[in-house]
């Protein structure tokens, strides 16, 4: 997962405002993820994290501002396989007989062209991704047979197999057990150390300081950003998480 050979940030967001008809979910958001860094996007439920991810991927047109991924607009970055995405809730129909191996192979689709021809390299990378998330023994199981934590790890393996230099992960720790959480953190650190850039959203405060190189506190706006020890102060956390309690819960999502 070698980043493109230029000096652009992995992700640059400039004065981004976005939302829904009649709803301003994000206002003047500014953030940057440097190549090879793991940045935690921290905010309570309703702070606008998922809206931000939709805008970063070009799935929601912003009201104002700009997003660039290694210097490219989101649509072009996606075409060039510069970014992968782990959604907050996976879209797989658990009643459909899709195997774990087939799910992870979907991460190879950007490399296979319109024919979706599976090569030996694709199989090897899928096996490697499954091994990284400790699911190598479950490749022939259907996704519906997995536990919640195993399902999140399978979705992570799909993103790993894609080999994009920027990974966006929306609440990867939601609904997982402690063992899966620890394994996911270890995998994310391994990816970062290999040069991958990561933006990881979470509303869990525990472990953020050891998880991330940088932290962004979000509630509609960026309230603070920087090194964990600079951002995770009592005052700033109270501002970020207390703001949601005092606002209309339908005001952002």
Q: What is the pLDDT of residue 112?
A: 80
Which is the CATH superfamily of the domain at 8-82+165-253?
P-loop containing nucleotide triphosphate hydrolases (3.40.50.300)
Q: What Cα–Cα distance (Å) separates residue 116 from each residue in 108, 109, 227?
A: 9, 6, 42
- Residues 212 and 38: their CA atoms lie apart, in Å, by 5
| Max intra-chain CA distance, the chain | 55
19 contacts: CB under 8 Å, gap ≥ 6 = 25, 26, 51, 63, 252
Order of all β-strands in the sheet with 83-86: 83-86, 166-170, 197-202, 38-42, 214-219, 221-226
What pTM was estimated for this model as a whole? Answer: 0.89
Q: What is the pLDDT of residue 74?
A: 95
The pLDDT confidence band at residue 244, using thresholds 50, 70 and 90, is very low
68-114 tens-digit pLDDT: 999 999 999 999 999 999 998 666 666 778 999 999 999 998 888 77
The pLDDT confidence band at residue 242, using thresholds 50, 70 and 90, is confident
Q: What is the DSSP string of 68-97?
A: EETTB-HHHHHHTT-EEEE-SS----TTS-
Q: Where are the alpha helices (DSSP H) in the chain?
A: 49-56, 74-79, 100-105, 109-112, 120-132, 148-162, 178-193, 208-211, 228-231, 234-245
The domain ranges of the chain are 8-82+165-253, 94-163
């Amino acid at each position: 997962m070698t980043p493109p050979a230029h000096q652009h940030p992995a992700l640059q967001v400039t004065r981004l405002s976005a939302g829904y008809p009649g709803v301003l979910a994000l206002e003047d958001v500014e953030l940057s993820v440097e190549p090879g860094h793991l940045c935690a996007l921290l905010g309570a439920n309703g702070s606008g994290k998922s809206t931000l991810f939709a805008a970063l991927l070009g799935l929601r047109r912003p009201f104002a501002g700009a997003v660039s991924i290694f210097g490219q607009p989101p649509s072009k970055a996606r075409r060039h396989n510069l970014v992968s995405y782990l959604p907050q809730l996976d879209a797989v129909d658990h009643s459909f007989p899709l195997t774990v191996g087939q799910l992870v192979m979907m991460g190879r689709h950007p490399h296979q062209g319109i024919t979706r021809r599976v090569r030996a390299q694709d199989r090897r990378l899928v096996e490697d991704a499954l091994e990284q998330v400790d699911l190598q023994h479950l490749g022939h199981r259907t996704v519906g047979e997995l536990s919640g934590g195993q399902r999140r790890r399978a979705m992570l393996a799909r993103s790993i197999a894609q080999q994009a230099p920027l990974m966006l992960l929306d609440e990867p720790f939601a609904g997982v057990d402690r063992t899966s959480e620890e394994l996911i953190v270890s995998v994310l650190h391994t990816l970062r150390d290999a040069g991958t850039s990561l933006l990881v959203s979470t509303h869990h405060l525990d472990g953020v300081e050891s998880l991330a190189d940088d932290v962004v506190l979000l509630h509609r706006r960026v309230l603070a950003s920087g090194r964990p020890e600079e951002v995770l102060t009592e005052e700033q956390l109270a501002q970020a998480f207390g703001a949601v309690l005092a606002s209309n819960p339908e005001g952002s999502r």
